[in-house]
């Protein structure tokens, strides 16, 4: 089944789906770029690893079709504090055991010298909320911006705190940032919303090089169809994380038009 939305699919932002989508999109971008970059450059999938005890940073892989019955889960969990009564029996508790988090990203390197030319990042949920995941990413981002390395930063998540940009009042659901090391401190920001087609953008390389244009919308559509996301997503439920009312109405109209509701 084809991808039902003209741009990003809000159902793919589900916390149990997005980590898998993240991995697959990274792989598709690498597959698309590799033949266009050779023989001068090569593209490699790299992994950033860190440990955390923060459950908000945990990411799980693509679940099976039972996600359809869990799709209505709230994106926030209410907690109640209870006063324990004295007892001679122990109470089973859960400890903050460290978890290893792995986040994939791409590097474009010059063949022969192995010089790092461009870093391509797709933001994960842990990058957009307070905690070790955001701290780790911001540190890496600062290192890139201090160098002559180019950066492509793709944000396909409505929820969370966007990456810092100086003197920018643009509000949008999603963003793609294309930063060229030779135009520091300026960068090109592609700001777009749920209703928009994801904009295509050039991959920054060294000055004078032919730059491949990445059609992220096409790659997203391919991932959706190849990996059978229509068997995973229940479009009769509301999207998780929840949408603002205006977007709920728009999503409902799109899904009804496609016969999915």
Is the separation of the CB atoms in 174 and 8 below 8 Å? yes
pLDDT, average across residues 50-67: 49
CA distance 244 to 25: 26
pLDDT tops 70 at residue 215: yes
Domains of the chain: which residue ranges?
A: 10-65+98-257
Confidence of residue 49 (pLDDT cuts 50, 70, 90): confident
What pTM, to 2 d.p., does this model score? 0.84
pLDDT tops 80 at residue 75: no
In 3D space, the residue among 218, 227, 25, 234 whose CA is nearest the CA of residue 124 turns out to be 25
pLDDT tops 70 at residue 86: no
- pLDDT reported for residue 259: 96
pLDDT, average across residues 64-71: 46
pLDDT, average across residues 139-156: 95
Q: List phi, psi (to 5°) of 112.
A: 100, -60
- pLDDT reported for residue 15: 93
Going from the C-alpha of 115 to that of each of 63, 108, 148, the distances in angstroms are 38, 9, 11
């Amino acid at each position: 089944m084809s991808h039902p939305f003209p741009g990003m699919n809000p159902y793919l932002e589900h916390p149990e789906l997005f980590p898998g989508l993240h991995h697959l999109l990274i792989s598709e971008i690498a597959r698309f770029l590799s033949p266009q970059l050779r023989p001068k450059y090569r593209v490699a999938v790299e992994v950033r690893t860190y440990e955390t005890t923060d459950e908000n940073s945990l990411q799980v892989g693509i679940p099976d079709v039972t996600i359809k019955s869990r799709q209505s889960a709230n994106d926030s969990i209410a907690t109640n504090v209870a006063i324990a009564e004295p007892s001679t029996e122990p109470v089973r508790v859960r400890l903050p055991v460290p978890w290893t988090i792995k986040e994939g990203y791409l590097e474009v390197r010059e063949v022969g010298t192995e010089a790092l030319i461009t870093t391509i990042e797709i933001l994960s949920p842990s990058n957009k909320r307070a905690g070790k995941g955001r701290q780790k990413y911001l540190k890496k981002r600062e290192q890139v911006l201090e160098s002559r390395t180019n950066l492509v930063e793709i944000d396909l998540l409505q929820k969370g705190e966007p990456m810092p940009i100086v003197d920018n009042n643009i509000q949008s659901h999603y963003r793609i940032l294309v930063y060229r090391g030779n135009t520091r401190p300026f960068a090109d920001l592609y700001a777009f919303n749920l209703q928009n087609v994801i904009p295509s953008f050039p991959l920054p390389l060294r000055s004078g090089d032919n730059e491949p244009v990445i059609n992220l919308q096409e790659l997203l559509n391919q991932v959706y169809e190849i990996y059978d996301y229509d068997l995973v997503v229940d479009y009769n439920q509301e999207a998780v994380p929840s949408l603002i009312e205006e977007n709920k109405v728009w999503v409902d109209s799109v899904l009804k038009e496609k016969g999915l509701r």
